[in-house]
Amino acid sequence: MSPDDEQDRWIAPPDGQIMGHPKALWMLFSAEFWERFCFYGMRAILGPYVAVTFFAHLGDQADAQASLTYGGYTAMVYMTGILGGYVADRVLGYQRSIMLGGAMMAVGMFMLLAPDLTTFLLGLGVIVVGNGLFKPNVSSMVGKLYAPGDVRRDSAFTVFYMGINAGAFFAPIVCGTVIGAVFGFKWGFFTAGIGMLLGMLVFQLLKAWLGRVGTAPAGKTGFSPFVRVIGGYALLLAPTYFLLSHSDWLGYLLLVMMAGLVAYFVYSGSRADKVQLQRYIAMLILFAANSAFWAMFEQAGSSLNFFARDYVNLDLGFGEVNFTIFQSANAIFIVTLAPVFAAMWPKLDKIGLNPSIPRKFALGLLGVAVGFYALVFAIEFMQDDAGKVPAMMLLLCYLIHTMGEICLSPIGLSMVTKLAKPREVGLAMGGWFLSVAMGNYTAGLIAAVAAGGGEGAGETAGSIAQYGDVFNQLFLTGIVFAAAFFVVSPLVNRLMHGVK
């Protein structure tokens, strides 16, 4: 049997279930909870901290420059997933890739306490390369717990997605609103790093629940492959630092990587059969919709974060809150609504009304578009004497965005594991996160216009009117994307050849 055939075989996890799912799902849920606590804890404070600490001398352009740094970082966090997927598939295996990635993320998080920009950007670089090993591979392992055709897979990803968002809910409150606001935002980074260490501890202590799922490929056991991977990733730090410092080069690199990814999957599909080729084409079309979604949705940590700080009434009736608390809104809405949607899809399926995967993507794009209109309306009609809008309207925006996200993101994670060849699941998951990276990079460019004004902008840099103009453009653009995807959904569904 060839190595590829060996890798294509499904390996069952050890016996034992919790609430109808393998025990390992709940271990991955817990590990991902703490990793997302780390990620979203630092994400909630990253843009404002960078603006004040490193770019205050730029005046009204400080927020714009911080938005570019934020967009570059969040793009690279997801961009490196494609390499991490390859390393897990072909070199280290998933279990060792996750542990190495987690260790690197913790080290990078503690480096963010440094007072100089160079060390800070190097710390972001270490987090970037570590996340590329951790994030796509823990998601891929969820899919590997279930045999092909197991109907529990979609609900497993919904459970897993709730773990992500449970961590994302507590992180901004602990790292930003409590620790950061009281002791300084840099100690929020420290707290996020402790969260990552807890995630690694959970994974290591309960690793036996995985059994042979995600172990090293044949011939790749031992310490030597581990050392080579560490050396390779150390070499990546220099270009990563450069790209974090030069966001325009990062944009070109993302385009080149996506072009290479498209070429690879078309080639790989054509070597298999017509069905696999068309499934890969469908997957790539969904990647494009995913990029468009995240370009709009990921304003949450940048332009919407600055907007909350400057133009939202933070007095909620029981005293004024720190603006970072709104970074938890999406997560609590996910935790609340995800079970509702998870239960709704099967019921709709029984009566023949369950939207296809492409239609769910279109609904996601529609949701993120309509969410921005809530803020456009508030800016136009609901400003108080101080020029601020009610917090409830920002929460409404996040609520509608969340409904769109539930239609797209967990469905997309499951879709990748179904459309890809078994031995290319890690690479395909890396491609999914590369499409997220492209969206995040574009989000940074959009946020820079909203926060600082762009070339030809008609409003004062960072003014509420400027935010209103950009949010209105996002609303209109999102409506166009959603309508277009509704139209092409039947074609994409046919290309998927029965995958649901």
- Is 4 inside any structural domain? no
DSSP string across 322-388:
-GGGGGGHHHHHHHHHHHHHHHHHHHHHHTT-PPPHHHHHHHHHHHHHHHHHHHHHHHHH---TTS-
- Is 500 inside any structural domain? no
- Is 14 inside any structural domain? no
pTM of the predicted structure, to 2 decimals:
0.85
CATH code (residue 132): 1.20.1250.20
DSSP string across 196-257:
HHHHHHHHHHTGGGGTTTTPPPTT--SSHHHHHHHHHHHHHHHHHHHHHH-HHHHHHHHHHH
Which value, in Å, is the radius of gyration of the alpha carbons in the chain? 22
- Is 169 inside any structural domain? yes
Judged against a pLDDT cut of 60, whether residue 95 lies above it is answered with yes
pLDDT tier for residue 289 given thresholds of 50, 70 and 90: very high
- Is 136 inside any structural domain? yes
Q: Which residue has the higher pLDDT, 383 or 17?
A: 383
* 442-493 tens-digit pLDDT: 999 999 998 876 544 456 657 899 999 999 999 999 999 999 999 999 999 8
- The whole-chain average pLDDT of the chain stands at 87
How many Å apart are CA 244 and CA 136, to the nearest integer? 21
How many Å apart are CA 194 and CA 106, to the nearest integer? 7
3-class DSSP assignment, residue 7: helix
Contact status, residue 453 vs residue 466, Cβ threshold 8 Å:
yes
At 228, list the tokens: 């080579």
How many Å apart are CA 37 and CA 483, to the nearest integer? 35
* 185-195 tens-digit pLDDT: 999 999 999 99
- Is 11 inside any structural domain? no
When pLDDT is averaged across residues 422-444 and rounded to a whole number, the result is 86
pLDDT tier for residue 2 given thresholds of 50, 70 and 90: very low
Give the number of other Cβ atoms within 10 Å of residue 283's Cβ: 25
Q: Which residue has the higher pLDDT, 322 or 136?
A: 322
Contacts 24+ apart (CB under 8 A), 345-350: 345/154
- Is 6 inside any structural domain? no
Q: What residues make up the domain containing 427?
A: 19-495
* 137-186 tens-digit pLDDT: 887 788 788 877 777 777 787 778 777 888 899 999 999 999 998 999 99
**Number of domains the chain is built from:** 1
- Is 5 inside any structural domain? no
Q: Looking at residue 458, what is its pLDDT? A: 52
Contact status, residue 172 vs residue 40, Cβ threshold 8 Å:
yes
* Enclosing H/E stretch for 17: strand 17-18
* 402-416 tens-digit pLDDT: 999 989 887 887 788
